[in-house]
Structure 1
Amino acid sequence: MSSSTPDVSIVIGAYQAMPYLRHCLASVEAQTLGAGRIEIIAVDDGSTDGTGEYLDEFAARSAVRTRVVHQPNSGGPSGPRNVGLGLARGRYVFFLDADDYFGEEALERMVAMGDRAGTDVVLGKITGVDRGAAKSMWKQTVEHADIYFSQVKFTLSAQKLFRRELLVRLGMTFDEKLRTGEDALFTMEAYLRGNGVSVVADYPCYYLVGRDDGKHVTKSGSYELRFDSARALMDLIAEYVPPGPERDALMVRPFVITLLPQFGPGLLKQSATVRRRKMELAAPLMERYWTRGLALRLKVQERLRLICVAKGRTDLLLDLLRFMKEGRQPEIVRGRRPARLFLAYPHFGEGPALPESAYRMTVAEWVGGRRIEPPATMRSSLIGRALRKAGRTVRGVTPAHGARRT
């Protein structure tokens, strides 16, 4: 084997990964980038199902340079990924889950994009296999995606191509204290501190596999772990992005994807003790990071639920959740001014606890099976105001910021 520096170090943390590991490793061998330009660092995290033995067999016979590390179970994906990252020698690093697999041209296309654009993170299109996968960020291939006002902030899993020089220079590792959301924290830091993000959307680079046994790390753990994850991501965003439209745009991710599900219809079945504890955990996050600019970027029912949380009004929140669980649709109300539409969820027009402005449509909504756009004059005014505050011009894509803000 050649001792030259590989283009890509593929880090695979593997725990009880059979039989999925076979397809995973076969997809690495099939890469059009070529075996001589790839290395694998596989970390067997205390498996007892033959995962470790299969990795050793693969390393002995494969043309792809493969190093296998065996260690006691660490309890999560961060430890194995950090071990693999510490051993990586490639120009780029890709964190491949042992359940998943590549499209044949994935690494060739992503490396070419990173080299051409000079970016530190490259996103390859993800396709779900027997499970869902995010879709909004794969509409077009771009060399420099806007991390604030595009959809890339909604894909923060670790399955990306990272320039290793960035990770080494910043001393970046996965936070092993977090039991969920550690990949979101790692990826967001690379977005914010790196030299830009590219998107390869015209080829299915990564296949995200739904296991037959349903064992996915993201589904495990208590609700308190989700608050830990939300807090860590919000704190990171606040550290590197000053208050304003850009911070608000990024904060949509932890508020809607991590925090808000804790206050969904499932709360109706939970005890008063759990409800009270969730409100206690959310209170400092709402006080610290909830802003009007963030609220305007949300759908009405999202905004209303979070306002209830911010005000500590569990009673109003439960009324909203019952309305949602019953599948009822809010009436569309035109305001006194023609340029305003409201969605009449529970307690609309009843008083200051949930003011009329909280029910105003500011983003597109689906109501009764129809997509409803907010009035164009209002929407353009909101967007224009945000962009002017950020000192931006209206473009399809703009370069992401890489330097730390002070």
Structure 2
Amino acid sequence: MADMPRKNHEPDVSVIIGAYDAMPYLVRCLESVEAQTIGAGRLEIVAVDDGSTDGTGEYLEEFAARTPVPMRVVRQANSGGPSGPRNVGLGLARGRYVFFLDADDYFGDEALERMVAMGDRAGTDVVLGKIVGVNRGAAKSMWKETVERADLYSSNIKFTLSAQKLFRRDLLVRLGMSFDETLKTGEDALFTMEAYLRGNGVSVVADYTCYYLVGREDRNQMTKKGNYRRRFDSARALMGLIADQVPPGPRRDALMVRPFVITLLPQFGPGLLKQSDAVREKKMALAAPLMAAYWTPEMGRRLKVHERLRLTCVAEGRLDLLLDIVRFLRDKEEPATVRRGDRLHLAYPHFGEGSSVLPERAYEVTVTEWIGGRRIEAPAAGTRASFPRRVIRKARRTLLSALRAPRAHRV
């Protein structure tokens, strides 16, 4: 698709910045917008100070007074989360696209020029630009190649659901999309997944670092705050959205991996061992309806063995078995590999006990695993891993010799 003309002097991109006590990170954040090679005339900044007390609001107003980029500043009482400021900014945006830039982070100089060009060329409604972490980790698996149209179900874009993406504003307006202000974590995942599912495609710009995700030294980041109940709220909302938009089957299972593994499963990791019996029981109770509604054995085969085993224990309400597996993981023990015919298993706790909750098939390797630095691949369908080739060749030679022998000498 060719570059789309702007109407009524609308900017190409509205950069929406929700800021709360963001100094001194805000300085570099704003400078990175001003430095965009797309040019100040094709941008606007909509900044919302969410009740800051460290001079963030004053700095936003000072910057707005001197930057060549058209900029509007809104100052409001603290809303308690990132959704409110983003929604306010979205309501004021005029651009063909919007980008939600966190006040702690910053752009690569060519980020918006490259992403807008990609969105216009491909006609897609969401554009992902490569993200790298600064003093923190960042997901990497989705940045292997630049693609005009990524497949949501087979690619790893479903594992990057943060709001730091380029969204076509027409899509958001047409669908009446906004961030769910009742969620205190995972609101960006819900928003982004809806845009993925209901929009006209997703592009990936992987050959240039578009976004720098900054780890604050004071660790004062909303994504790191909140108790376990908020995580279950987030998982419930995302699973519900996926179920509403995608009928049961392999495509739904492919998407459900994300909330199960990224949002729900960490609640049943080694940290569970430090928690009280009451908290453990409450977590199991919160997970039970989600497992009953959305967990399927077919989805379990898309997971690593220890992930599948833990979620199976949760689905069956077996906290006792779950704790045994979690202790094994906490102690960094390595499961033995066991072959049964053409199947390969990892012998985590309770393997081979004939359990109806954790049968041998629950221990089967179905995706690539890393154990003790060793890469373990799932055997290809139909292979007979328990019979070395030399044994098969010897058996074949013996059989052929017997067939060629005179009938009287055959046994």
Q: TM-score, normalised by structure 2?
A: 0.91
1:348 corresponds to 2:385? no
Look up the match of 2:369. 365
1:316 pairs with 316, 321, 329, which one? 321
Cα distance in 2 for residues equivalent to 1:21 and 1:81: 16
1:66 aligned onto 2:71: yes
**Cross-structure match for 2:282:** 277
How far apart are residue 132 of structure 1 and its match? 0.2
Choose from 9, 19, 38 the match for 2:24.
Answer: 19
Q: In the alignment, which of 218, 223, 246 is matched to residue 251 of structure 2?
A: 246
How far does the alpha carbon of each residue in 1:262-304 deviate from its partner, in whole angstroms, 9 at most, with x for none?
0000000100000000000000000000001110100000000
Partner of 2:388: none
SS of 2:195's partner is helix
**Alignment of 1:194 onto 2:213:** no
Shift in Å, 1:349: 1.1
Q: CA deviation at 1:127?
A: 0.5
Residue 353 of structure 1 deviates from its aligned partner by 2.0
Whole-angstrom distance in 2 between the partners of 1:178 and 1:368: 38
Q: Which structure 2 residues correspond to residues 6-405 of structure 1 after superposition, within 5 A?
A: 6-335=11-340, 337-338=341-342, 340-350=343-353, 351-377=355-381
Count of residues paired in the alignment? 376
Task: Give the superposition deviation at 1:215.
Answer: 1.1
4+ residue segments displaced more than 4 Å = none
Identity of aligned residues (%): 76
State the 1:376 CA deviation.
2.2
Taking the aligned partners of 2:331 and 2:122, their CA distance within structure 1 comes to 49
Tell me the amino acid that sits aligned with residue 352 of structure 1.
Answer: S
Shift of 1:377: 2.4
Question: What is the CA deviation profile of residues 220-265 of structure 1, one whole-angstrom value per residue up to 9, with x for unaligned ones?
Answer: 1110000000000000000000000000000000000000000000
Deviations 1:18-58 (A, max 9, x none): 00000000000100000000000000000010000000011
Counterparts of 2:185 and 2:382 in 1: how far apart (Å)? Answer: 38
Q: 2-side partners of 1:353 and 1:241: how far apart?
A: 29
The code of the aligned residue for 2:110 comes to E
**Counterpart of 1:13 in 2: which secondary structure?**
strand
Higher RCO structure (Cα 8 Å, ≥6 apart):
1
Shift of 1:149: 1.0
Give the TM-score taking structure 1 as reference length.
0.92
Distance in 1, Cα, partners of 2:358 & 2:80? 43
Structure 2 SS opposite 1:377: coil
Greater alpha carbon shift after TM alignment, 3-12 vs 307-316: 3-12
Alignment partner, residue 399 of structure 1? none
Provide structure 1 residue ranges, at least 5 long, that are not aligned to the other structure.
Answer: 380-406
**AA at the equivalent of 1:342:** H
- The alpha carbon displacement at 1:4 in A equals 1.2
CA distance in 2, matches of 1:306, 1:167: 35
Change (3 A) 1:192 1:36: same
Deviation at 1:3, TM superposition (A): 6.9
Question: Aligned equivalents of 2:15 and 2:265: distance in 1?
Answer: 34
Once residues 279 and 299 of structure 1 are traced to their aligned partners in structure 2, the CA distance between those partners, rounded to angstroms, is: 21
